[in-house]
Amino acid sequence: MEQTPFAMDRRIPDEFGYALAEALGVDAYCPLPPGCDGKVFLAEDAEGGILVMKVTTSAIEAALCKAMAEAGDVPGLFQVRDVRSVELPDGSNAWAILRDEVSDVFMGPDVDEEPSYQAWLASLSKFDAGWQLDDADILDSALREAPPEARLDQALGGLRWLRDELGALGRDLHRDNFGRTGRGDVCVRDLSRFRMPMARVKAALRRIDPLPEHAPSPVP
């Protein structure tokens, strides 16, 4: 059964996230609204770098992020520092993901009125249709119509890497699921709704280590 955001907020309380972040060597300081597959915290490393720590119950998201961490710097994807298996306070299994912070592609109080933003929304609808149908003509049209600063060509490169290297097919390509990394790449920011061959998911999950043995357990 799919978990509602309210249910996920109860399963992953803020105090659990703070303790988990400490076990991973970062400081979590800002829990964000929970999604259906986990909860996200902004975090800071020892050098002052801003990261995102996501506690996810999606095995596919954990497997994809583990493969991305192993691959290193892939254009059109956020960078993943670490993925660890954890146990939630209710005893169920989850995974903690440390990755790049990904901001909105277009920002500002009047962004809804900007012509470039409206053009981006229109091109995104066509982009999603072209990707789902695997139609090169529709994708090319979407890229031509998108404003240059949207850089949908970067996001397309990341989606193709996930598909060609991992067999993962992207879904949920709405406007709020695109963001810009600190290095400037536009990418899909949430992978929990992707599809992936189960054999590859299981293989990646076997390569994910638990929290370091010397780390304090975040389970109350």
32 belongs to a structural domain: yes
Greatest Cα pair distance, the chain, in angstroms, is 54
121 belongs to a structural domain: yes
95 belongs to a structural domain: yes
Query: pLDDT tens digit string along 104-125?
Result: 777 654 556 677 888 888 898 8
Residues 97 and 205 in one domain: yes
Query: pLDDT tens digit string along 48-106?
Result: 888 999 999 999 999 999 999 999 989 999 999 999 999 888 888 899 999 988 887 77
| Domain limits for position 154 | 106-181
Residues 110 and 93 in one domain: no
188 belongs to a structural domain: no
- Report the number of distinct structural domains present in the chain: 2
pTM over 0.75: yes
Query: pLDDT tens digit string along 167-193?
Result: 999 877 888 888 888 888 889 988 888
Distance in angstroms (rounded) separating the CA atoms of residues 121 and 114? 11
Distance in angstroms (rounded) separating the CA atoms of residues 80 and 68? 6
Q: Which two tokens stand for residue 77?
A: 């994807």
23 belongs to a structural domain: yes
Distance in angstroms (rounded) separating the CA atoms of residues 132 and 128? 6
CB atoms within 10 A of CB 218: 22
Residues 34 and 91 in one domain: yes
- Report the amino acid identity of residue 220: P
Tell me how far CA of residue 105 lies from CA of 66, 159, 192, in angstroms: 25, 17, 20
